[in-house]
Amino acid sequence: MSSLIQKAKEMAVDKLSQVPKPSCELSDLDFKDVSRKNVTMAGIVSITNPYDHDLPVVTITYKIFSNNREIGSGQLTDPGDIKALDKTNIELPTVVPYDFLWNLMKDVGADWDIDYKFEVGVQFKLPIVGKFTLPLETSGTMKLPTLSDMF
């Protein structure tokens, strides 16, 4: 009897592993807006829905790191549904005050850019499975704005 239950478990795991899962991809982080008080950066997460019904996204949490220090973070609650069999782009804006960027100046060096790491967790509500979080990470280099960009 126990071998029959074990075979049933193995078959269920095998079938669930073959079910397509949503996929996500991060675009590079870039400056969206520059003001006298802060900089707004934005990244884009592209979510692909492999199902024939809309996929609800519960939350998207994100953090931006530079030199192993968190410079910005945010959370989007209930950003909407991802359309069936489609790809949807969601913008993730983050406000970073200049005083924090000023602390990073010694790390910037002569090339006037910041190396960053962008971490995102996209939480879906999948049928049968329930809540499922897909972790994403990208890193790159972001050019800092000059005074002529601000005024």
Which range, of 51-65, 70-84, 111-125, averages the lowest pLDDT?
111-125
Residue 97 has pLDDT above 70, yes or no: yes
Q: How do residues 105-131 score in pLDDT, each as one tens digit?
A: 666 665 777 788 889 999 988 777 788
Work out the angle at residue 122's Cα, subtended by the Cα atoms of residues 118 and 127, and round it to the nearest 5 degrees.
165
Q: Summarize the confidence of residues 57-80 as an average pLDDT.
A: 89
In the chain, where are the structural domains located?
21-145
Q: What percent of the chain has pLDDT over 70?
A: 83
Predicted TM-score (pTM) of the model is 0.75
CATH code of domain 21-145: 2.60.40.1820
Q: Summarize the confidence of residues 24-48 as an average pLDDT.
A: 84
Q: How do residues 15-27 score in pLDDT, each as one tens digit?
A: 666 778 788 888 7
Residue 60 has pLDDT above 90, yes or no: yes
Cβ-defined contacts of 96-100 (< 8 Å, 24+) = 96/38, 96/39, 96/40, 96/41, 96/64, 96/71, 96/72, 97/37, 97/38, 98/37, 98/38, 98/39, 100/71
